[in-house]
Chain A
Amino acid sequence: MNSTTRIQNHDFDLGAEYQLLRQLDAAMGAVVTFTGLVRDLEKNTSINSLTLQHYPGMTESLLQEIVDQAQQRWDLIGVTVIHRVGKLLPSDQIVFVGVASQHRVDAFEAAQFVMDYLKTKATFWKKVDQNGQQHWVESKDSDQTASDRWSADD
């Protein structure tokens, strides 16, 4: 399986990433892509910007570990994970997950798995600026619940 994980400040091109996956193997029958965007609200209050911190080195290892686990659970041809760091503005693209497989179920499920695990295991932290007041975003129980469902049947 072909896997790419990147952490970067600059934006990504959804179409270009899709094409890179698509050309991997003619046996491919499905590509599922997910793009996460910066919401303009945090706890019902508008934000001016969002800054993402991560743990260099560890984050890369964790992303690769998540992709490796997805590969073990589903029949995949390619996976791409891109996560941006640094300062972002509302509506900016923040995260990309693309999964290619022979059949759609593998791609759909693996894409959800990668996002659910990324949200609860990868070492990223968001700080929002709301009218000059900065504060760290708190983790959500709903994200943990979404992540836990993948380990419930292990």
Chain B
Amino acid sequence: MIKLLFFGRLGDFAEGVSASIDATEGLTPATVRDALAADHPALVAELSQPQVLISLNQMIVGWDQPIFDGAELAFLPPVTGG
């Protein structure tokens, strides 16, 4: 299983998205995003914004990073703390 997390405004767009997905071969953040496109087009439009960062097991990675079983994949909009 891969745990999916959507932070900030992405969380609003991700309502109804499953909190986890099955691990399959060749999985990357890009394939996860593309798999969401049919049912959640508004979310995928937001995820495709260039400022969105992806973290895998709490490390920033690129869209083509391989994802393995048990991972935690998070989508991070620009941060606004402080």
A residues within 8 Å of B by Cβ?
A: 36, 52-55, 57-58, 61, 83, 94-95, 115, 118-127, 136-139, 143
Which of B9, B12, B55, B82 has a CB less than 8 Å from the CB of A58?
Answer: B55
Which A residues are CB-close (under 8 A) to B58?
55, 57-58, 61
Question: Which A residues touch B76, using CB under 8 A?
Answer: 55, 123
In the complex, how many residues of chain B place their beta carbon closer than 8 angstroms to a beta carbon of chain A?
17
**Alpha-carbon separation in the docked complex, A32 to B82 (Å):** 17
Check if A115 sits within 8 Å of B82, measured CB to CB.
Answer: yes
Q: Using a CB–CB distance below 8 Å, which chain B residues touch chain A?
A: 5, 7-9, 11-12, 51, 55, 58, 74, 76-82
Query: Contacts A53-B8, A55-B5, A55-B58; is A124 near B81 (CB within 8 Å)?
Result: yes
Which secondary structure dominates chain B's binding surface? Answer: loop
Main secondary structure of the interface of A (DSSP, over half): mixed
Residues of A within 8 A of B82 (CB): 36, 83, 94-95, 115, 118-119, 122, 124, 143
Give min CB distance, B80 to chain A, whole Å.
5
Chain B residues positioned under 8 Å from A95 (CB to CB): 81-82
Q: Which residue of B lies closest to A34 (CB)?
A: B82
